[in-house]
């Protein structure tokens, strides 16, 4: 049986969610390259002036900082839940784009029909 792109897309999402659930507990808890550089620079006193701390307070606005959603910080479920929320939101954005394209194409066909 040949699979269409919709089936392939759904299979891709299912595989992704399962893979994420299995792999998240094994992700390295160490800080990433840029954070490490920032830590080293701060230790050496190469810090910046207060005037340049642009938007530091904005960071507190995100609902699930550091991928901790609904469960405790040490609970793997917090990261897994965050992953699922993020994946669904991203798919939602692209689904919205698909609806916009579909609407535009319908409009085009209508105007062509009127001509």
Partner 1 sequence: MHIPDGFLSLPIALITWILALIVIGYSLWQLREIDERQLSYMGVLGAVIFAAQMLNFPIASGTSGHLAGGALAALIVGPFASVIILTVVLLIQAFMFADGGVTVLGANVLNMGIIGAFVGYYAKEILMTIREDDIMFYVAAFVAGFLGLFVAAIAAAIELGLSGTFDMGSVLIAMAFYHLIIGIGEGAITAAVMAYLAQVDFPVGLPSKGFPVEIVGTPPRLPG
Q: Give residues in contact with partner 1 (CB under 8 A).
A: 5-6, 9, 12-13, 16, 19-20, 23-24, 26-34, 36-38, 40-41, 44, 46-49, 52-67, 79, 82-83, 85-87, 89-91, 93-95, 97-98, 101-102
> Closest CB to partner 1 among 61 and 114?
61
Token digits of residue 10: 């759904």
First-residue to last-residue Cα distance in the chain: 41
CB of 80 to partner 1, least distance (A): 9
Helices 5-23 and 76-114: angle between axes, nearest 10 degrees: 160
Q: For partner 1, which is the closer residue by CB, 1 or 54?
A: 54
Q: How far apart are CA 97 and CA 94, in angstroms?
A: 5
């Amino acid at each position: 049986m040949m699979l269409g792109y919709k089936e392939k897309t759904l299979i891709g999402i299912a595989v992704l969610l399962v893979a994420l659930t299995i792999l998240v507990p094994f992700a390295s808890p160490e800080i990433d390259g840029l954070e490490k550089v920032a830590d080293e620079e701060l230790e050496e006193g190469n810090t910046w002036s207060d005037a340049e701390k642009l938007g530091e307070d904005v960071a507190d606005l995100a609902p699930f900082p550091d991928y901790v959603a609904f469960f405790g910080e040490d609970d793997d479920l917090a990261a897994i839940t965050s992953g699922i929320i993020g994946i669904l939101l991203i798919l939602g954005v692209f689904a919205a784009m698909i609806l916009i394209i579909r609407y535009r194409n319908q409009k085009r066909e209508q105007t062509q029909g009127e001509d």
